[in-house]
Amino acid sequence: MRRVLIPIDGTARSIKSVEFIKNEFKPGEAFIKLLMVREDVIGPLPDSMLDPAVGELKERMDETAKLIEDYDHEVSIIFGRAGDEVVKCAKKEDMDMIVMTKSTKKGWVQAIGSVTSYVVKYAPCMVIIVPEVGYNVYDE
């Protein structure tokens, strides 16, 4: 069974990665870990402050998890720097691949790098980049 890490950023764009995996693997062929990293919380905070932050993201992650309910899967929401946390998770959980969706943003975001380029550079496993536009698993 392949172990697949899919970072979810809360945008519709990141769902393209989920669609890709569903097209490539049938249930029983892949374990999928959905990972959302919240970068806007700095420093250690008490659970009373973290719980509301996680709560608002949990709804989005639960919606995404419904798309893969037939697959063995796990959902995690953590705090930190997205690129670092994705790479750490892939190493710690011995993932076979990371599937991310490429952004179509232009300008400084592309010039100074992104989470995706960081993950490609430091990942311990294969990284598959799915286009944000022009990719539809239902096109035959």
Domains and CATH numbers, the chain: 2-131 (3.40.50.620)
In the sheet that holds 97-102, the strands lie side by side as 72-79, 30-38, 2-7, 97-102, 126-131
Give the pTM. Answer: 0.82
Is residue 134 over pLDDT 80? no
The per-residue pLDDT for 85 is 94
The per-residue pLDDT for 137 is 47
What distance lies between CA 19 and its chain's CA centroid?
A: 12
- Digit-coded pLDDT (tens) for 9-18: 877 888 899 9
Residue percentage of the chain with pLDDT more than 70: 74
- Digit-coded pLDDT (tens) for 88-132: 999 999 999 999 987 666 554 453 347 888 999 999 999 999 887
